[in-house]
Structure 1
Amino acid sequence: MSIAVDNVSFAAGNTLIVNGISLSVEKGKVLGLLGPNGSGKSSLLRLICRLRKVRSGVVRLGGSDIASISRGDIARRIALVEQQATTDTRVTVIDVVRLGRTPHRGPLSSWSARDDAAVLDALARVGMRDRAGQLWQTLSGGERQRVHIARALAQTPSELLLDEPTNHLDIQHQLDILGLISKLDVTCVVALHDLNLAAMFCDSLAVLQKGEVVAAGLPEEVLTQELIERVFGVRAHVQKSSVHGRCNIQYMAG
């Protein structure tokens, strides 16, 4: 397995945020994390990349306990796209994306053609290459999100973690970004709110509630009418889409 989480728990003070979670992701596959606000999705992503320290349990990368891997090696291997990231510094789009190359460069190393190629390729993948010289502060929320994803891609990671990457994006760019993510030759763990997008683009799903995994497996196994009502508190009709062949969810009022 590329990523394996074994009975992991995490607490903030006396509050248990992640409670005995176990899950795994095969190399090159996309795992979608679903659940209501406060279910532990963001905390789990930070535990996987060691931005948070587990209270108990083990997170493994390629079979190795992440606690035994140096922070430099983790930075070169894992890229994280968070929900919100901003700056008051006057920087351009390409300046932001260049930050993705930082883990690959020593303190005295010069910028290389390989770095340039990684940055330009990442910008092209998210449709922002023509905005390379534009100031960050002039971008819309959706454009900023695409630039953050480009920064992560410029890092050339083997594992990519994304926390609500479609926030602030219009429908076209939601589909474009998740389509891109689903075709990358990297292992992805992505936290999402939209159940239909998760069904369309993720190879497998894990549903979290109050810090625990309450369902995991293929989208069509996980996204049942009963689970959606129990976890998300809404009534829904689930059927196979005649367009993309995955399950499609229609919500019912009242």
Structure 2
Amino acid sequence: MSIAVENVAYAAGKTIVVDGITLAVEQGKVLGLLGPNGSGKSSLLRLICRLRKVDSGIIRLAEQDIAAIPRANLARRVAFVEQQATTDTQLTVRDVVQLGRTPHRGLLSPWGVDDDLAVEDALARVDMAHRADQFWHTLSGGERQRVHIARALAQTPSELLLDEPTNHLDIQHQLEILSLVTRLGVTSIIALHDLNLAAMFCDSLAVLQNGKVVAAGAPQEVLTEHLIARVFGVRAHIERSAVHGRYNIQYAMG
């Protein structure tokens, strides 16, 4: 497995946030994390990239305990795109994306051709090359999100973690970004709210509730009308889409 989470627990003060979670992602596959607000999705992502320390359990990258991986090596390997990231510094779009190359460069290493190529490729992939010299703070919320995804791609990671990457994006760019992620061939875990996007783009799903995994498996196995009602509190009708062949979920009030 590329990423394996084994009975991991984490508490913030006296509040249990992640409660004995076990899940795994195969090399090159995309796992979607689903669940209502406060279910533990964001905290789990932070534990996987070691921004937070597990209270118990083990997280492995290719069979190696992340606690034993030097931080510099982990930073070269795992890229994390958070929900919201901001700065007051006057940075251009290219400046922000260039930050993705930091883990690959030593303290005295000169900027090289490989760095330029990685940055330009990342900008092109998220359709922001034409904004490369624009100041980051002048962008819309959706454009900023695309730039942060470009920063992660410039890092050339083997594992990619994304926390609500489609927030603030219009429908076209939601589809483009998730389609891009699935084509990368990079092991990815994506926290999502949109069940239809999860069904459309993810190889497998894990549904979290109150810090626990309550369902995991292929989208067609996990996304049932009963589970959606139990976890999300809404009635749903599920059918296979004639357009893309994946499940399509329609919601009903009351």
Which interval holds the TM-score relative to the shorter structure? over 0.9
1:84 match: 84
Q: Look up the equivalent residue of 2:48 and give its one-letter code.
A: I
Question: In structure 2, what is the Cα distance between the partners aligned to 1:218 and 1:108?
Answer: 46
Q: What is the alpha-carbon distance in structure 2 between the residues aligned to residue 202 and residue 89 of structure 1? A: 35
Distance 2:175 2:37 in 1: 22
Matched, 1:251 2:251: yes
Aligned to 1:30: 30
Q: What residue number does 1:186 align with?
A: 186
Give me the whole-angstrom Cα distance separating, in 2, the residues matched to 1:229 and 1:105: 49
Q: Distance in 2 between matches of 1:190 and 1:175?
A: 14
Counterpart of 1:67 in 2: which secondary structure? helix
* Stretches (4+) displaced over 2 A: none
Per-residue displacement from partner, 1:3-44 (whole Å, max 9, x unpaired)? 000000000011100000000000000000000000000000
Match of 2:68 in 1: 68
Unaligned runs of at least 5 residues, structure 2: none
- For the residues of structure 1 that align with 2:62 and 2:229, how far apart are their CA atoms? 36
Q: SS of the counterpart of 2:193? A: coil
Q: Which residue of 2 aligns with 1:172?
A: 172
Provide the rounded CA distance (Å) in 2 between the counterparts of 1:245 and 1:23.
26
SS in 2 for 1:245: coil
Partner of 1:46: 46
Deviation at 1:215, TM superposition (A): 0.1
Instruction: Report what 1:146 is aligned to.
Output: 146
Match for residue 118 of structure 1? 118
SS at match of 2:189: strand
Using the TM superposition, give the Cα deviation of residue 253 of structure 1 relative to its aligned residue in structure 2, in angstroms: 1.4
CA distance in 2, matches of 1:110, 1:55: 39
One-letter identity of the residue aligned with 2:109: S
Query: In structure 1, what is the equivalent of residue 196 of structure 2?
Result: 196
**Cα distance per residue 1:56-82 (max 9 Å; x no partner):** 000000000111100001000000000
Q: What is the SS of the residue equivalent to 1:19?
A: strand
Distance 1:193 1:39 in 2: 11
Residues in 2 aligned to 1:5 and 1:86: alpha-carbon distance in whole angstroms:
29
Instruction: Output the amino acid matched with 1:51.
Output: L
Quick one: percent identity of the two aligned structures? 75
1:89-132 deviations in whole A, cap 9, x for unaligned?
11100000000000000000000000000000000000000100
Measured on the aligned residues, the alpha-carbon RMSD in Å equals: 0.4
Instruction: Report the counterpart of residue 133 of structure 1 in structure 2.
Output: 133
How far does the alpha carbon of each residue in 1:196-231 deviate from its partner, in whole angstroms, 9 at most, with x for none? 000000000000000000000000000000000000
Residues 1-12 of structure 1: pairs in structure 2 closer than 5 A = 1-12=1-12
Shift of 1:185: 1.6
SS at match of 2:84: coil
Tell me which residue corresponds to 2:157.
157
Aligned position for 2:223: 223
CA distance in 2, matches of 1:90, 1:60: 38
> Equivalents in 1 of 2:132, 2:224: separation in Å?
43
Structure 1 Cα separation of the partners of residues 64 and 88 of structure 2: 38
Q: What SS is found at the alignment partner of 1:106?
A: coil
Instruction: Indicate whether 1:95 and 2:95 are aligned.
Output: yes
In the other structure, the counterpart of 2:18 is: 18
Amino acid at match of 2:13: G
- 1:218-254 CA-to-partner distances (Å, cap 9, x unmatched) read 0000000000000000000011111111110000111
1:147 alignment partner AA:
V
